[in-house]
Structure 1
């Protein structure tokens, strides 16, 4: 099993939304900058997350996305499932046809592991992750970096507009 960027980015973006959503809707552009995920890719992911009712969009000025439920009610397994990410560790995609149309010797081992991974992720909510000190420290660093980048851009714009 390999969790692809689709699953990783969806979880990362949802965690960013949980961390920053208390002040109102969060724009995908802000998530894109903080998490270094392309805006077009986030749009695709959030389309799926919205269809699975994990997020809600808010239109208009100051719009963006918000969690559709409390962070304590959204589990990582739901996010991964919403973007069609497979947590399957079997070679056959859990079809049972790994070896000449039959189950291979270790099929049950890998199938059980897949179930354990899903069960593990079903026990972790976004709120659980938000509460972790390490995650809060990373979020604070990202916020500070975004702030510094915004200040640099604004300073450059003012310099360009100043008469020579």
Structure 2
């Protein structure tokens, strides 16, 4: 599984929104500038996030984007699935396409792939946007760090 630029930039931009938003809309151009990402690319990313119900657009001169739910209620898994689609390691794992594998009945490695997939899904579904921001701050990776 390789997370695309869309997934990485989307997650980074939402962490920015959590950190700087604090209940006020953040313009996309400001996020793009802070994160060094093309604004037009972020427009595409945020359109997918909005369609998935993860962010809301606020119109007007003080408009921008806000989270649709509190940061502690939005998981990394939700964000990545909205931007990447199903996250699969192999055809025989949840979200994969078992019909493509003709070794399903005799494969000795299938349980490994299923277990690994379950562990990854567990981390994705238990890590929230709030967790990402807190973890970044405690490791000195936050925007206000001096490193």
Q: What's the TM-score bracket when you normalise by the shorter of the two chains? A: 0.7 to 0.9
Structure 2 residues without counterparts, runs of 5 or longer: none
**CA distance in 2 between partners of 1:75 and 1:42 (Å):** 19
Give the conservation status (yes or no) of the 8 Å contact 1:130–1:136.
no
- State the Cα distance separating 1:46 from its structure 2 match: 0.7
Structure 1 residues without counterparts, runs of 5 or longer: 145-164
Q: How many pairs were matched up? A: 141
Larger Rg: 1
RMSD, aligned CA: 2.3
> What residue is the counterpart of 2:114 in the other structure?
111
> What residue is the counterpart of 1:102 in the other structure?
103
Q: Does 1:34 align with 2:54?
A: no
- State the Cα distance separating 1:87 from its structure 2 match: 2.4
Q: How does 1:104-143 map to 2 (within 5 A)?
A: 104-132=107-135, 133-134=137-138, 137-140=141-144
> What residue is the counterpart of 2:18 in the other structure?
18
Q: How does 1:24-63 map to 2 (within 5 A)?
A: 24-63=24-63
Normalising by structure 1, what TM-score?
A: 0.75
Normalising by structure 2, what TM-score?
A: 0.83
Give the conservation status (yes or no) of the 8 Å contact 1:28–1:64.
yes
Say which structure is richer in helix: 1
User: Residue by residue, what CA displacement relative to the aligned partner does 1:61-98 show, whole Å, maximum 9, x if unpaired?
Assistant: 02100011111111111101111344211167722356
> What residue is the counterpart of 1:148 in the other structure?
none
